[in-house]
Structures are given as structure tokens and as C-alpha cells.
Structure 1
């Protein structure tokens, strides 16, 4: 099976059948070409590093104040990653994203969180330290929060399956690449949300 990378294009990448678009960083492989991905997610991995990007549509959390939404979703991800104990996850910053800098003007607010989580890959014993950058777009009118997660491993345990050399000739993604994705996320088809 041929896997397609999405780099080199000057056009935004179609997400969810083109209902959303955004600029995806260079050297990205669409994971749906490799395995089944849930319908509410688009997942990309870097072709030469262990970095990944996830664009996810989740239920709008109306009981959570806008300024707490990123922390709420970060803690939910930590629970899914089995990294919810205090020593395994930490939020280092949460900042609002000015709507004037965003293509997705339909959101009521947008936030970017940076934190770390100690997670294992494929339920292994070995834990890797990952910097997690999380963008949250709040869309109460569609009962949806859009999460964009950039997983950027900082230290890989020798016992992790990620410790095997994955190639070092590719330029890793940067926070600037992630911010460009956040700024260029555009809603093309509101029917995406039902």
C-alpha cells in the first residue's frame, strides 16, 4: 500500500472529506492510509520522527468555562494516555488565540495549551516524556469542540518501541508549524457537524 505524504503542497489539506481544511506540516503521513482511524479524527505522523498531529471533533463541554476548556481536554487526554497522576502530566501554559489571527472565525473562542505527559506507546511499560501542544476551538453553535494536538516527544525510554531508529534525516515539526495549522484551520462545510 502506498502511503501519501502531504508535504510540498501550496494548498490547504482537506480534512473530514474537505469539510475543514488546514496547512499540514511537511513530511506528514496520513495515518488513515495505514490503519483505521475513528470518524471524528484525522491523524498524521511525521515521516522521520515520532511526532504526531491529531485533529479531533469532540462534544462541546458547555459546563466548562472557555478559559478552562483547554485544561479540561488536556486532562481528558492524560486519562486516555494513562498519564493522569500528578507526576505524569503538567500544564505549563494556556493562552487565548486572538480570533483576528484565525481563519476559523466561527469559534466563540480558541486556546492553545502547552504541557507535558509521561506516556507509554501501545500500552508498553516504558514511558516517554512528550510535550503536548493542544489547540481548542469552541463551537457551541455546533455542540462541538475542535481539538488539534501536536505530540512532540522529548525523551524516549530505551524500552519503548519508539527507541528504534526511525531516521534522522527529516526536519522535525516546530511549534511554528503547529501554530500555522491552527491559524489556517478553515470550516468549508458546516454540515460536518450534523
Structure 2
């Protein structure tokens, strides 16, 4: 019998979700902005970022998803090296977060260099955008999944030892997305 995964508190308990296994809270390693929760896989270069962002009014929901993808590409210095593969609605009936007016999934690719290195890694970006106009908030969840790491990159994988946790999958990401719950709307300001 499989045990049910537990909800993990986010943003001081204002939100919660089921996080994937082998997760490291990056705030234990470095300072993270108050509007973000950042997690890294303990044995891979994968990461998940949950952000509370300003609601992008005046644009369609798919365009808001594209806007946030381009903003992430700019933050990653991946401009000109980023492509969107798909933008699709997430069925609200499958989500626990009932406070969103719509939810969108975006998949794309970016060429990213870490720490201003010359080496570039190909990263698949899975994003989910939960639109909450009543709170003037776009909740953005980004799963960075490196698919090709340059051997010269500081992210080049070390030798993997037996007992290491397997990489996160899209199923892990989808479980997180479907499990979001809002407990305190005060988190939105």
C-alpha cells in the first residue's frame, strides 16, 4: 500500500503542495526573495521555482504565460536562445487550487549558462501559470529540467553513486501542480 504524500507548507504556510522527493530548500543555502520558494533536486541539476508575481492584466492568458517565459529567459540570459514548444490550458477540474480563474501549462527550451560561464546547457522549461486576478497575482511554477549539460559547465554531473534519488519527472511536477492549496489569501498583500 502506497502512502499518501503529505502537503508541504509554502510561503510560511499560506500555500501548500506535494513536493517531489529528494528536494532541497534553496533558502537553507542562500537568500531567496520573499515572493519565491526555490527548490533543487539533491542529486541532479533540476530545480523548481514557485513565484508570486504581479498579475499581467490586459493580455490573454496564453500571452501572459509567454510573457512570463520570456521574463525567465531574460533572467537566465537566454534571450535569442529560447523557444516555446506549447502553451495549453490546464483543466481546472484536476486542480486543488480553486482560487485561480485559469491555469496554463507552457513547455519550452532555453540555452542557459550558469555563473556567466561560456558553457551552455540545454534546459527544458515546464511552466504552470495560475491566474488569480482577484488577488492581482500570477502564481508561476517553473520546473527547470536540464536535458543536455555541457561537459565544461559547473553543472556537469558528478559520478552518480548507487542510492542516489532518481531525477524528477513530469509526473512529479504534475502532482505538485494539482496539489496546490491556498490557506491564507493574505500572502498576496
Q: Structure 1 length as normaliser, TM-score? A: 0.92
Relative to structure 1, the CA distance from residue 146 to residue 133 in structure 2 (aligned partners, 3 Å threshold; closer, same or farther) is same
Relative to structure 1, is the Cα distance of residues 126 and 19 closer, same or farther in structure 2, using a 3 angstrom cutoff? Answer: same
SS in 2 for 1:134: strand
Deviation at 1:69, TM superposition (A): 1.5
Q: Work out which of the residue numbers 151, 158, 163 in structure 2 matches 1:165.
A: 158
Match of 1:150 in 2: 143
Uncovered stretches (5+) of structure 2, i.e. residues with no partner: none
Q: Paired residue for 2:83?
A: 90
- Kept in 1, the 8 Å contact 2:44–2:157? The answer is no
> Which of 10, 13, 33 is equivalent to 1:18?
13
Q: CA deviation at 1:82?
A: 1.0
CA offset digits 1:1-27 (Å, max 9, x no partner)? xxxxxxx98320100000000000000
Moved more, 30-39 or 62-71: 62-71
**Alpha-carbon distance in structure 2 between the residues aligned to 1:128 and 1:166:** 18
2:174 paired with 1:192: no
d(CA) in 2 for partners of 1:60, 1:96: 17
Say whether 1:61 aligns with 2:56: yes
Aligned match for 1:122, one of 100, 115, 130: 115
Partner of 2:106: 113
Distance 1:150 1:190, change over 3 A: same
1:66: Cα distance to partner?
Answer: 1.1
- Which 4+ residue blocks in structure 1 deviate beyond 3 angstroms? none
Distance (Å, rounded) in 2 between the aligned partners of 1:95 and 1:144: 20
C-alpha deviation, 1:67, in angstroms: 2.2
Instruction: State which of 63, 72, 76 in structure 1 corresponds to 2:71.
Output: 76
Shift of 1:167: 3.0
Q: Which of 103-112 and 162-171 deviates more?
A: 162-171
Structure 2 distance, partners of 1:13, 1:123, is: 33
Unaligned runs of 5+ in 1: 1-7
How large is the Cα RMSD of the aligned pairs? 1.4
Q: 1:132 aligns with which of 125, 129, 139?
A: 125
For residues 181 and 192 of structure 1, what CA distance do their matches in structure 2 show? Answer: 19
Q: Aligned match of 2:29 in 27, 30, 34?
A: 34
